[in-house]
Structure 1
């Protein structure tokens, strides 16, 4: 396995998780909103018998944005700023994902590889830098639109960024003091132990106050409800992107979901153990790899059985329309075929042996899977909060940032520093 293959895998994971999941996020958010509001959500758009629970609707919407006319109002004076603004938001949101570690340092043929799209030693500082830069795209977009609602959106974005960025940085300082490193892989590995042999040594248990502050600021970072002041549809039409259409508007939307993906990933990395499997660090997984594979062989068919049963229960025929039942049968066959193929591969590993490289590959795959499970769960929390919590008022966010979060973050730094010094002595 060459270095090029590992680099391609890292970059592909970053691109897929940051940008490629956008149609899935749109579909998932609509389904969650429908569930919370006691309605069906998108479930009719289809290609043949395939609806995929409404996912085809998101693909159709994406194609609509691609082929829609890119209309630029005549009153816009600075068309360069107008065009570059969504690109800034998109790239800054996308690049924040570049330093997220998906697994522990991967060793193949004696060569170590950092499992990041752009391996560097900036760590959390990279995330802060690009996350802060994305607001410039929002400000430019609203300012260059020549629209009073767009300008109001830009002003709100400016006020918002100075209200939460300071608190977010202070919360990160507490984590750096606790972990003793700015490198994200080191931070995740520091969360591998347990308290009293039971409680995982995750950042959320080490620094609960920093976790709350950072998560609240991360919601503001993504410009999602309850902190979507810059676009507040019920107040300023759509704020900074009122005048945008087609793929310019699409880039703003993709940038928002990329920011949500990056925030979910960094929260998992800092506070929920990242790629660490609870109660099993990298060395433990490698030492007990056969037992881990046996556990997967037991759990995998159970999960497939439960999921296919849920599909069958929720995709019954409606009147003479039998397409849903046909889709369920086809997908059931596909899922069971995948499960059987994976099980056969794992059984072959048990019978023939893995070797050192094989053990390292399986360990990395398990850690990537663990990271993805936590990542999707955190993304669900983002969507859950959006559809349950009301929008903060313009002044309430600033009061929250300056009078509550910043003093609390400063106090947390002092307490953390005292504890580290006393413990170290």
Structure 2
């Protein structure tokens, strides 16, 4: 195994871990801040370390540390302690593993060898995602059952009712995508989305399969147990559902698993329907052929971003007294952001001046595509948060009606239409 292969494997694993688990404190903070904005309040912004609040991010980190050091209490009435213990781990592991097959960029070629930009280099693609995403519900069911608590049991039963409502519709919507792209390999699907149809519209799954996209997004919300489909928790009805009897890090694993599932769902939606790592009208070969122009655009973009960030920071901190410790934070963040912008711009100028070479062009293209993917990924996570704080919770009978009487018939209709078009066009 070459050094390049080892480095690429490590980078892929770090990307998967960071996007699925490492972003949890950021997602918690982001959710609180977006909720505050929607509800016309500030949200968490008081906890700090030496005056550094990071807009409230320190509060999320403090909450995570509290869960780590909190007493892990197991109620005496629980008989199935093994099931009680492994249930959070099942939810967490399954949610984490679904991220393993997401392609963060196109295959990269270094020294004549081609490597996949996936944490788990398998071609199973969408089948892997569906398998492990579907298994995570067993952790919820086991957690509710083993708690020997009526609220936990009701949460587990609701999770069972939920999974038979959305899973079939999700799988059927994926069949339309398979017919369209002719492959179960996620990277093949993303590469196909680098094309255009009619020479203008990107061949993203959102435009190629709008009905499948709508069905998949709805079922992805149910898959991740997010509002409006968080019926297994239902705080206003069954306290906390399946994790009522959990505390400390076992409770924390359920929460991290939820955010990991949200991140995995966002990643797969981006991959199937939003072009993945593709930039509209610029596939991998186009980027590689015009890499210098792309780098020049980035050199111009970074100072512009730093300018608008500075303007935003000054506007949001203009109410502070000059002696307020948060004024120090503002100055540190502004200088830090400008420093990053200047260093990156100078590095890009040096790369253009010295020349990249074949390996350099391939690596630069991969970095750009990873950044594009992460940007789309964060946007989709924002949509998940936005929906949570906008819509009301469905009753589980309403979810079953939606799944069996609306989503499944629409999925089957979409398969028939797609098959007719594929046969008629011979593509």
Task: Pick the TM interval, shorter chain.
Answer: over 0.9
For residues 410 and 395 of structure 1, what CA distance do their matches in structure 2 show?
Answer: 22
**Aligned pair partner of 1:41 in 40, 43, 50:** 43
Whether the 8 Å CA contact 2:320–2:327 is kept in 1: the answer is no
For residues 92 and 312 of structure 1, what CA distance do their matches in structure 2 show?
Answer: 43
For residues 315 and 63 of structure 1, what CA distance do their matches in structure 2 show?
Answer: 28
> What is the aligned partner in structure 2 of residue 276 from structure 1?
278
Q: Residue 44 of structure 1: SS of its match in structure 2?
A: coil
For residues 365 and 320 of structure 1, what CA distance do their matches in structure 2 show?
Answer: 40
Between Structure 1 and Structure 2, how many residues are aligned?
Answer: 425
Deviation at 1:318, TM superposition (A): 3.7
Give the alignment of 1:59-208 within 5 angstroms: 59-208=61-210
> What is the aligned partner in structure 2 of residue 290 from structure 1?
292
> What is the aligned partner in structure 1 of residue 24 from structure 2?
22
**Aligned pair partner of 2:330 in 328, 345, 367:** 328
For residues 311 and 91 of structure 1, what CA distance do their matches in structure 2 show?
Answer: 38
Whether the 8 Å CA contact 1:317–1:325 is kept in 2: the answer is no
Whether the 8 Å CA contact 1:94–1:259 is kept in 2: the answer is yes
Question: Can you list the C-alpha shifts for 1:34-86, whole angstroms capped at 9, x where unaligned?
Answer: 00000000000000021000000000000000000111111111111000000
> What is the aligned partner in structure 1 of residue 415 from structure 2?
413
Question: Can you list the C-alpha shifts for 1:209-228, whole angstroms capped at 9, x where unaligned?
Answer: 00000000000000010000
For residues 41 and 323 of structure 2, what CA distance do their matches in structure 1 show?
Answer: 21
> What is the aligned partner in structure 2 of residue 423 from structure 1?
425
> What is the aligned partner in structure 2 of residue 401 from structure 1?
403
For residues 312 and 125 of structure 1, what CA distance do their matches in structure 2 show?
Answer: 48
For residues 65 and 20 of structure 1, what CA distance do their matches in structure 2 show?
Answer: 16
Question: Can you list the C-alpha shifts for 1:335-368, whole angstroms capped at 9, x where unaligned?
Answer: 1111111111100111111000000010000000
Question: Can you list the C-alpha shifts for 1:256-279, whole angstroms capped at 9, x where unaligned?
Answer: 000000000000000000000111
Whether the 8 Å CA contact 1:171–1:210 is kept in 2: the answer is yes
For residues 215 and 52 of structure 1, what CA distance do their matches in structure 2 show?
Answer: 31
For residues 39 and 132 of structure 2, what CA distance do their matches in structure 1 show?
Answer: 35
Deviation at 1:325, TM superposition (A): 1.3
Q: Residue 109 of structure 2: SS of its match in structure 1?
A: strand
For residues 309 and 390 of structure 2, what CA distance do their matches in structure 1 show?
Answer: 27
For residues 19 and 56 of structure 1, what CA distance do their matches in structure 2 show?
Answer: 17
Deviation at 1:323, TM superposition (A): 1.4
**Aligned pair partner of 2:345 in 336, 343, 346:** 343
Whether the 8 Å CA contact 2:47–2:53 is kept in 1: the answer is yes
> What is the aligned partner in structure 1 of residue 262 from structure 2?
260
For residues 225 and 132 of structure 1, what CA distance do their matches in structure 2 show?
Answer: 18
TM-score, normalised via structure 1 length:
0.99
For residues 308 and 134 of structure 1, what CA distance do their matches in structure 2 show?
Answer: 43
In structure 2, runs of 5+ residues without a counterpart are none
Give the alignment of 1:373-384 within 5 angstroms: 373-384=375-386
Q: Residue 112 of structure 1: SS of its match in structure 2?
A: strand
In structure 1, runs of 5+ residues without a counterpart are none
For residues 129 and 321 of structure 1, what CA distance do their matches in structure 2 show?
Answer: 56
> What is the aligned partner in structure 2 of residue 237 from structure 1?
239
Question: Can you list the C-alpha shifts for 1:267-303, whole angstroms capped at 9, x where unaligned?
Answer: 0000000000111000000010111111111111101
For residues 91 and 190 of structure 1, what CA distance do their matches in structure 2 show?
Answer: 30
Deviation at 1:317, TM superposition (A): 5.1
For residues 314 and 294 of structure 2, what CA distance do their matches in structure 1 show?
Answer: 30
Deviation at 1:319, TM superposition (A): 4.8
Moved over 3 A (4+): 316-321
